[in-house]
A and B are shown apart, each in its own frame.
Chain A
């Protein structure tokens, strides 16, 4: 389904607060748009939950509603303490999940 992109640093010093930027392709159909030909409402279909984990432990999450733009962008921070792996999970209303991973080395 959706194509996700993540921009997270590969290296950091212990104690650094790093910024992570994520982007995913998704229509985020709000359920309020009408099909111009038929005049019928296009059913709602959005990503409703985004979760960011580090070595399996959640450190940031977001609940998204119809007001989040198409191709949702999300940026947030993380305090790097040790080397490990980030996991980013986008959960969509139909139960589909997109997972993206990124490693970081902390010196």
Chain B
């Protein structure tokens, strides 16, 4: 019994260490494009630590390449999914890398949504990346990053 306990602990520690390693690797690759700490912390919180093992693909975040007015930037998200009772998109989170607060919005879907599509309008303070995170019902996490050039910022001041 005691042996088993030790093993479980070891595996957990290993997972934690592996996660940290992966995060460091991602940060290293993206270089100048690295996600600011505040946004990264939020992404980790929203996904219960899953952001570190997020995969590319499935999720598409449509934003204008150049937003003249940062006060209302149209944003459209869509995630590829059959949206059936056992395979659907649970949530999509939008995280800002350049706003004073990284939280933007979260959309929660159900199989009754039919399609994991949503559109809204956001405020963007300056030219930045917007990260879309899709949480699937099977626990998988997909991520995409879109750059938006903002001419006039939209967060007061």
Contacts and interface: CB of A to CB of B under 8 A. Distances in A.
A95 to B, nearest CB: 20
A60 B110 contact: yes
B100 interface: yes
Contacts of A57: 112
A54 to B, nearest CB: 7
Contacts of B154: 69
Contact of A62 (B106, B110, B111): B106
A74 to B, nearest CB: 5
Contacts of A67: 94, 96, 99, 101, 103-105, 122-124, 155
A74 B108 contact: no
Interface string A64-107: 11111110111111110000000000000000000000000000
B109 A60 contact: yes
Nearest to A21: B119
A77 B105 contact: no
Nearest to A51: B108
Contacts of A60: 107-110, 113, 118
Contacts of A76: 107, 109, 113, 117-119
A33 interface: yes
Contacts, number: 106
Q: How large is the interface on B (under 10, 10 to 19, 20 to 34, 35 or more residues)?
A: 20 to 34
Interface string A38-73: 000000000000000010011111111111111011
For chain A, what secondary structure do more than half of its interface residues adopt (helix, strand, loop), or is it mixed?
A: strand
Interface string B43-70: 0000000000000000000000000000
A33 B110 contact: no
Given A67-B124, A79-B83, 14 more contacts: A17-B115, A59-B110, A60-B107, A60-B113, A63-B108, A66-B103, A67-B94, A67-B101, A68-B104, A68-B122, A72-B120, A73-B121, A74-B118, A76-B118
25 contacts: A30-B155, A30-B156, A32-B155, A32-B156, A32-B157, A33-B156, A34-B156, A34-B157, A60-B107, A62-B107, A62-B118, A65-B101, A65-B105, A67-B96, A67-B99, A67-B105, A67-B123, A68-B105, A68-B120, A70-B71, A72-B121, A73-B121, A75-B117, A76-B109, A78-B114
Interface of B: 71-73, 83, 94, 96, 99-101, 103-115, 117-124, 154-157
